Structure 1
């Protein structure tokens, strides 16, 4: 089985149960993103390519830990040997930190508002990064919206200033407002990721009431002017009811602006807990479309130095997973 087929199958399956020796040393727990509120996850790597696998007692797949990070993953009739990668903060080789682990908005696919998470202090975040400094190549900052987007941005900027002395690239993914790209760039951010979330305005209005997808697109266009080529990203969730044609149009619109889409398979959670994950066949189909459009537009996710496209754990990434 080729790596892209294997990864698509793992992402479609959604989780694994761990057998064999304890793997606690390799377990990462998330307060935002696809794994928020779950039991944790591991990063399974084969020949330098990785996938993040949520861990559940009733997991669909079986991952046997044989000790010292050596593991065997069985999917269908195929078993593949790889390694479990050590995690710095949230993922390998990055300090990926959620600043405010709560949110005033209520996107239907997200469980973060229900978790009631708190905001980390600047001192706490600086101490967290200090603990893993020898194990990271980058810092990535994400955040819910604790009070309002303008206040959240201001607080995140105070975090960036406190982390600047670590002298590694800093990526930022927050809910943006007018001027956010310029202010983040002025503070030294290397990359940004502002998420349009859904492939169409219609689906976005249903999934994220009170938020403005068109404004996010305008801010993304400005971000490309400020940060340059291959430094601006945007999550688009696969599985919210869009067609393949609608997803292709969305990828084309973003890439045409110079934005690299990050295609994120739906993790059924929040109000969508009963929804189905996208199939492996659909993930592969959209991966091929994604590859083609990025190639046509001269965009390369392999250039990413922070955040999701540098990690590759949760998504199929053109150039890295081919």
Structure 2
């Protein structure tokens, strides 16, 4: 039931939030699909979760009854569940964007148009301390000057956060040696994003970025961090075919890398491009599940970032 319901909810991606005040359960993002938006909530049902952006109009309604208890309504579907409080951006983690602006202009990304300042290390430490009961710290970042400078800034933050003695995951745009330096700094897991299913689509969507470098650092990361602890985002809905997406999934899983299948969320220069539909969600999800199993990969081993959260994506083994 949950897999089908979540795919239907992610197809829409938004919800009207009604009922009693639920502001303590809302989260705002400076990175990812929700960057610059009104905010989002995490709906939880029987240990599973989905993240939906709050909107003035949506066919999905989440009515807050009180104390986090909500009734989700979508057509003839009614599900009683809970809203989860975000630690910092997502439940159970302090998921923090270091630099909220970026010199790259990926066509689907809203970050350049909603640039936010770079957080200082002291501010990040305070956010982690204020996040409450968390089991992981996850860091991501745009590129404000150069990728080398961003990595140096990230390494300094990681070293300062090691005092919390919980797993730290990092997702940044890599340069040669990034995986090794993050591993030496004490990072537990990494995510270097390939973003698209094919090199041609990557060149079109992410001008100026080096896909070969990302691939090289992903392979090096598997050697250092081990299988089940190296991830990459693959966005579907940008114009690739199902076969192209499945080929990319198969290749990554064979290399020991867990892909996170991220449904396209209209934004950036592609605001008029539609979100993927329910049937495509389920088709790719089933293939993803089979590819992970065939290569002995287990998403339940992940400790940080998106695979551990599951809010924005369908995650085989957790959903």
Superposition TM-score, scaled by structure 2 size: 0.99
User: Structure 1 runs of 4+ off > 2 angstroms?
Assistant: none
Task: Give, in whole Å, the separation in 1 of the partners of 2:196 and 2:213.
Answer: 14
Residues 149-207 of structure 1: per-residue CA shift (max 9 Å, x gap): 00000000000011110111000000001000000000000000000000000110100
- What is the aligned partner in structure 2 of residue 25 from structure 1? 24
What runs of 5+ residues in structure 1 fail to find an aligned partner? none
- What is the aligned partner in structure 1 of residue 42 from structure 2? 43
- What is the aligned partner in structure 2 of residue 158 from structure 1? 156
Residues 20-46 of structure 1: per-residue CA shift (max 9 Å, x gap): 111101000000001100110000000
CA-CA distance at 1:60 after TM superposition = 3.0
Q: In the alignment, which of 174, 183, 204 is matched to residue 176 of structure 1? A: 174
- What is the aligned partner in structure 1 of residue 274 from structure 2? 276
Residue pair 1:107, 1:208 contacting (<8 A) in 2 also: yes
Residue pair 2:59, 2:75 contacting (<8 A) in 1 also: no
CA-CA distance at 1:218 after TM superposition = 1.3
- What is the aligned partner in structure 1 of residue 257 from structure 2? 259
Task: Give, in whole Å, the separation in 1 of the partners of 2:146 and 2:224.
Answer: 24
Task: Give, in whole Å, the separation in 2 of the partners of 1:138 and 1:18.
Answer: 28
CA-CA distance at 1:115 after TM superposition = 1.1
Task: Indicate yes or no: 2:119 matched with 1:120.
Answer: yes
What runs of 5+ residues in structure 2 fail to find an aligned partner? none
Task: Give, in whole Å, the separation in 1 of the partners of 2:9 and 2:187.
Answer: 33
Residue pair 1:14, 1:60 contacting (<8 A) in 2 also: no
Task: Give, in whole Å, the separation in 2 of the partners of 1:50 and 1:238.
Answer: 20
- What is the aligned partner in structure 2 of residue 294 from structure 1? 292
Within-5 A mapping of 1:236-247: 236-247=234-245
Task: Indicate yes or no: 2:138 matched with 1:140.
Answer: yes
Within-5 A mapping of 1:150-229: 150-229=148-227
SS in 1 for 2:70: strand
SS in 2 for 1:135: coil
- What is the aligned partner in structure 1 of residue 102 from structure 2? 103
Size of the aligned set, in residue pairs, is 319
Task: Give, in whole Å, the separation in 1 of the partners of 2:59 and 2:243.
Answer: 30
Task: Give, in whole Å, the separation in 2 of the partners of 1:265 and 1:28.
Answer: 19
